[in-house]
Amino acid sequence: MIRKAMIDDLDAIMGILGEIIVEMHGYNNFQWDENYPQVKDFAADIKKGDLFVCVRDTEIVGFICISGDQPLEYGELNWSSGEEALVIHRMGVSPNSRNAGIGAELVGFAEEFSRNSGIRYLKTDTYSLNTKAQGLFQKRGYIFVGEMSFLGKEKSFYCYEKMLEFKKSGRSV
């Protein structure tokens, strides 16, 4: 089940974040660290209603932020459309819950959320060393747009986009 995150979920989210940071640093991926993301980032997402959690057997096992906010750096890229978009930010799955389809479920949820919001365009980015996230987005049909420098990180971030189809009466429009 995926639901809106609540302030009471912050401890579980930060616990998962800590696990992910240890795992990422184990393969020299420093996309996330003690500076980003922080509890204040997730609290702001919750306040805006942009953060969602995936729950299995009463335990939070993943999270995703779906927002209309786009980094200024996105303006430097050649996106295929200028129309309104939602952006997937800060997505993570507990290392203890990997290979259970949770990442795909979270991205699928973002797509359905976007459709239900009347927006057919999704964007996202991930650190160039985060091959797991890249593979997930590519498998879900996201198209590579380009690279950007972001958050003062040594390596670049890869940006992806996807145009969603709206379905009416059983056929795509």
* Residue 59 confidence (pLDDT) above 90: yes
Separation CA 132–CA 47 (nearest Å): 29
Query: What was the pLDDT predicted at 88?
Result: 98
Query: What was the pLDDT predicted at 166?
Result: 79
Distance in Å from the first CA to the final CA of the chain = 28
Over residues 148-162, the pLDDT tens digits come to 987 777 889 999 999
Query: What was the pLDDT predicted at 168?
Result: 61
User: Letter for the amino acid at 130?
Assistant: N
86-93/143-148 β-pairing: unpaired
Q: What is the pTM of this model?
A: 0.92
Query: What was the pLDDT predicted at 151?
Result: 72
Minimal CA–CA distance to 89: which of 119, 123, 121? 123
Query: What was the pLDDT predicted at 89?
Result: 95
Sequence length of the chain is 173
Over residues 9-48, the pLDDT tens digits come to 999 999 999 999 999 999 988 889 988 999 999 999 999 9
Over residues 82-121, the pLDDT tens digits come to 999 999 999 999 999 989 999 999 999 999 999 999 999 9
167-168/143-148 β-pairing: unpaired
The domains located in the chain, with CATH, are 2-172 (3.40.630.30)
Minimal CA–CA distance to 145: which of 114, 122, 167? 122
Separation CA 46–CA 49 (nearest Å): 5
